[in-house]
Amino acid sequence: MTIPDHDEDQLLRARIMLASEIERASAVLSSRVVEAFLNVPRHPFVPVFYREEGGFHRPCENDAGWLREVYADRVLVTEVDGVHAEDAGPEGVRGAATSSSTLPSLMADMLDALDVRPGVRVLEVGTGTGYNAALLCHLAGAAHVTSVDRTERLVAAARTRLREVGFAPTVVAADGAGGYPGDAPYDRIIATCGVRRLPLTWLDQCAPGGLIVVPLGGAVARLTRLPDGRAVGRFLPRPAAFMPLRDGGTAAPEPAGPTDADGRAGEAGSSALDDPGFAFWAGLHLGPAVARSSPRDFWRTVEAAHRSWLDQHCPRREWFTVEAGPEGQFASYTAPDGTTTRWPL
């Protein structure tokens, strides 16, 4: 796929615009992260992406709005049900998004939490387009970055695009749940896909004192690896939704939809789950058994969770701690009165 031509001044202005959007959307970021977005172009990694129109995902490339959308703070869908945007016909495709370029401001928050410095060894799970890997290369040095994704198709495209912008990290097709033992141990591990529980292989491959930033249980967690093999930390403040970790191209199972058998969502109302703060709290109460619950049991649990959330004065996700280790994985909240509630992940 040929990348559209634009003059250097236009591309520089676009990167400055994106960096400015990121700074407005995020908490205070380190200057190193902002500088990475100013210096690493996004457009080589998303030469084609999908726009959704009337239930169809249609490929978009080099039209009047292409560059503006590429350098906006927005998610760009690049694969739908395994069909890459470059391979789709003009009529488009139906289905669910299976790969995308993440919201840049969320990428910035996660990179800031990862505290990447020159020379640290980094593992990225979920190469995707390769854009985040390029930012990691800028921050740590390409020789210190390893990135894995589920298919050779994604990996080959990302590897080519990284090389075109001057980076040559290790990029391999592998089951992300297994990490990549060949370059372990790592000082930093970052995932760009969601998991319900932290794979223990990531803990094994993270050096003591290292950091892990991962979308965990519906929010992004930042954990520090302890010498005893556990990792502990907290959740980042902003809400985040990621596609689930997949192995070998097989999608992770999705929970059953929250529809009530008698058409009643209950006293909390289905709109309660639109509140990101409550959705996180409810997810902890529902736990991994949600896919096996009946619609009526689902809403009973949601209602009870909503009452307890209000009773606790709507605690924020950044007030929760998270712990992962061989003995189990838990999220915990300590109320002002000292009472601690713990949920298994």
What is d(CA 227, CA 209) in angstroms, rounded to the nearest whole number?
Answer: 7
Q: Directed axis angle between helix 131-140 and helix 104-114, to 10°?
A: 30
Please state, in angstroms and as integers, the Cα–Cα distance from residue 271 to each residue in 73, 128, 203, 258, 293, following that order.
26, 32, 37, 11, 20
Q: What is the DSSP letter of 229?
A: S
How much is the pLDDT for 268? Answer: 57
Range list of H helices, 125-240: 131-140, 152-164, 200-205
How much is the pLDDT for 259? Answer: 43
| CA quadruple 102, 104, 107, 109: dihedral sign | negative
How much is the pLDDT for 258? Answer: 44
What is d(CA 1, CA 48) in angstroms, rounded to the nearest whole number?
Answer: 8
What is d(CA 122, CA 117) in angstroms, rounded to the nearest whole number?
Answer: 10
Two tokens, residue 298:
């689902």
What is d(CA 139, CA 23) in angstroms, rounded to the nearest whole number?
Answer: 18
How much is the pLDDT for 270? Answer: 62
Element (DSSP H or E) covering residue 109: helix 104-114
Within its chain, how far is the Cα of 183 from the centroid?
A: 22
Return the amino acid letter for 253. Answer: P
Q: How many CA atoms lie within 13 A of 6 on its CB side?
A: 21
Q: What is the DSSP letter of 243?
A: P
With beta carbons less than 8 A apart as the criterion, state whether 203 and 216 touch: no
Give the largest CA-CA distance in the chain: 61
Which CATH number fits the domain 8-235, given the four candidates 1.10.3720.10, 3.40.50.150, 3.30.930.10, 3.40.50.10470? 3.40.50.150
Q: What is the DSSP letter of 247?
A: B
Element (DSSP H or E) covering residue 300: helix 295-311
- In the chain, beta strands by DSSP E: 49-53, 56-60, 76-80, 83-84, 97-101, 122-125, 145-149, 170-173, 186-191, 206-216, 219-225, 231-235, 321-325, 328-334, 340-344
Two tokens, residue 172:
């391999």
How much is the pLDDT for 178? Answer: 96
Closest by Cα among 148, 135, 304, 320 to 233: 320
With beta carbons less than 8 A apart as the criterion, state whether 161 and 135 touch: no
What is d(CA 103, CA 169) in angstroms, rounded to the nearest whole number?
Answer: 22
What is d(CA 119, CA 132) in angstroms, rounded to the nearest whole number?
Answer: 17
User: Would you name the residues annotated as active-site residues?
Assistant: 99
The C-alpha angle 269, 274, 277, rounded to 5 degrees, equals: 110
How much is the pLDDT for 193? Answer: 92
With beta carbons less than 8 A apart as the criterion, state whether 187 and 125 touch: no
What is d(CA 315, CA 333) in angstroms, rounded to the nearest whole number?
Answer: 9
pLDDT in tens, the chain (345 residues): 444 556 788 999 999 999 999 988 876 789 999 999 999 999 999 999 999 988 889 999 877 789 999 999 999 999 999 899 999 988 889 999 888 999 999 999 999 999 999 999 999 999 999 999 999 999 999 999 999 998 898 999 999 999 999 999 999 999 999 999 999 999 999 999 999 899 999 999 999 999 999 999 789 999 999 999 999 999 999 888 888 887 533 334 444 444 444 444 455 556 777 788 898 998 898 876 665 667 778 888 889 999 999 999 999 999 999 999 999 999 999 999 999 999 999
With beta carbons less than 8 A apart as the criterion, state whether 144 and 116 touch: no
How much is the pLDDT for 264? Answer: 47
How much is the pLDDT for 26? Answer: 76
How much is the pLDDT for 217? Answer: 79
Give the number of other Cβ atoms within 10 Å of residue 154's Cβ.
Answer: 23
